[in-house]
């Protein structure tokens, strides 16, 4: 037992060097020895964004501005969809789901990171770290599936306009939306369980600004082959499958649009699809870089991750608002403005 404690102390002292000496952070991990002779970590230390010493104040106000804009924009979109009867259609029903997802997704890591910047404390409990991993993959997977469902909705609306309301009835829309949330909850539960059943007896220092599977699994002292394989399958193959289905849908949509005789019909179809395509690229671009290239340089991963976690949820309502007359009209009604004459 004495040898085990000395060994763990030496590892902890080596990891202390990773943290800025000026930060008043207690690196010594509260541990106890489990039945399998592994020291169990009770909390983790988030190192934050690398190479940003002295920029805490700037980062705090920058992230705070992004977060407040994300909350305001998505709350307005959700309120408009909920309040305006003209937006009670399948397309805007899914858009309301997306607004809720963006609020949740941006709230996974940003509030904790803001608290760390403000209070200069980088610790996160084991339960808090598990919650970040679970909700990150739960909401991320739900958003991935929801984009696929939204592509299906656009495909039916453009390729089968006369049968659209029959095919995409409220029962079907509700089942599709509920299916994305329920399926993703199982997905996230499996990934989180596999991650935190690993023995953690090395360091408790997470070299990242929030808890995700790859940074946390690096700290495990057991075999991580299974978790790495399952994670790649779930976070790599699932998004690729969804992206392929979206791509196939839009190939059919483009084929149908090209065959249209009406120029007005083409413009309307292009307008309804452009916003969805834009947010799809914003979502799948960072996802592809991070989870298909887990060994990507930290210098590149961190900005990509920040863009996906913080910037994209803020841009989504702007993209839909700026390119959608119905949403702009509903927002005008919501604030008590006059609806322009048609």
Give 53-59's long-range contacts (Cβ < 8 A, gap of 24+). 53/20, 53/22, 56/117, 56/120, 57/117, 59/117
Within-domain flag for 339: no
Q: What is the DSSP letter of 337?
A: P
Within-domain flag for 342: no
As a whole number, mean pLDDT of residues 48-62 equals 83
Dihedral, CA of residue 280, residue 111, residue 71 and residue 56, to nearest 10: -90
Within-domain flag for 266: yes
Within-domain flag for 340: no
Q: What is the pLDDT of residue 256?
A: 86
Confidence of residue 94 (pLDDT cuts 50, 70, 90): very high
Q: List the domain range (segments joined by +) for residue 174.
A: 2-334
State how many domains the chain has. Answer: 1
Confidence of residue 292 (pLDDT cuts 50, 70, 90): low
C-alpha 108/C-alpha 286 separation (Å) is: 17
Within-domain flag for 155: yes
Q: What is the pLDDT of residue 281?
A: 83
Sign of CA dihedral 157, 159, 161, 167: negative
Given a cut of 80, is residue 29 above it in pLDDT? no
Confidence of residue 255 (pLDDT cuts 50, 70, 90): confident
Within-domain flag for 327: yes
Within-domain flag for 341: no
Given a cut of 90, is residue 285 above it in pLDDT? no
Confidence of residue 235 (pLDDT cuts 50, 70, 90): low
CA neighbor of 219 nearest in space, from 2, 21, 31, 23: 31
Confidence of residue 337 (pLDDT cuts 50, 70, 90): low
176: its two tokens: 């599709």
Would you say 178 and 186 are in contact if contact means Cβ atoms under 8 Å apart? Answer: no
Strands 39-41 and 31-33 come out as antiparallel
Query: What digits encode the pLDDT tens for the residues 132-148?
Result: 999 999 998 999 999 99
- pTM, whole model, 2 decimals? 0.80
Within-domain flag for 221: yes
CATH number of the domain within which 120 lies: 1.20.1070.10
125: its two tokens: 């409990």
């Amino acid at each position: 037992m004495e040898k085990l404690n000395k060994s763990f102390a030496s590892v902890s002292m080596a990891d202390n060097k990773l943290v800025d000496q000026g930060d008043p952070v207690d690196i010594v991990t509260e541990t106890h020895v489990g039945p399998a002779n592994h020291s169990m970590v009770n909390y983790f230390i988030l190192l934050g964004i690398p190479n940003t010493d002295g920029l805490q104040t700037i980062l705090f106000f920058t992230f705070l501005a992004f977060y407040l804009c994300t909350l305001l924009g998505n709350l307005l979109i959700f309120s408009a969809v909920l309040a305006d009867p003209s937006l009670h259609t399948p397309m805007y029903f899914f858009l309301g789901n997306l607004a809720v997802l963006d609020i949740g997704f941006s709230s996974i890591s940003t509030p904790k990171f803001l608290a760390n910047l403000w209070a200069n404390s980088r610790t996160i409990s084991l339960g808090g770290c598990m919650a970040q991993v679970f909700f990150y993959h739960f909401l991320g997977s739900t958003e991935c599936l929801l984009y696929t469902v939204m592509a299906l909705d656009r495909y039916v609306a453009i390729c089968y306009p006369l049968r659209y309301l029959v095919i995409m009835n409220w029962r079907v829309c509700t089942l599709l939306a509920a299916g994305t949330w329920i399926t993703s909850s199982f997905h996230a539960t499996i990934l989180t369980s596999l991650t935190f059943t690993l023995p953690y007896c090395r360091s408790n220092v997470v070299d990242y600004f929030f808890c995700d599977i790859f940074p946390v699994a690096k700290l495990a002292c057991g075999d991580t082959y299974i978790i790495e394989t399952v994670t790649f399958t779930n976070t790599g193959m699932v998004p690729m499958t969804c992206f392929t289905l979206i791509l196939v849908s839009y190939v059919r949509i483009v084929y149908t649009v090209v065959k249209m005789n009406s120029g007005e019909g083409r413009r309307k179809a292009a307008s309804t699809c452009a916003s969805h395509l834009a947010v799809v690229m914003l979502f799948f671009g960072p996802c592809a870089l991070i989870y298909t290239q887990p060994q990507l340089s930290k210098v590149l991963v961190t900005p990509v991750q920040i863009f996906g976690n913080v910037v994209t949820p803020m841009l989504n309502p702007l993209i839909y608002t700026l390119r959608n007359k119905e949403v702009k009209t509903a927002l005008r009604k919501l604030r008590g403005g006059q609806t322009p004459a048609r």
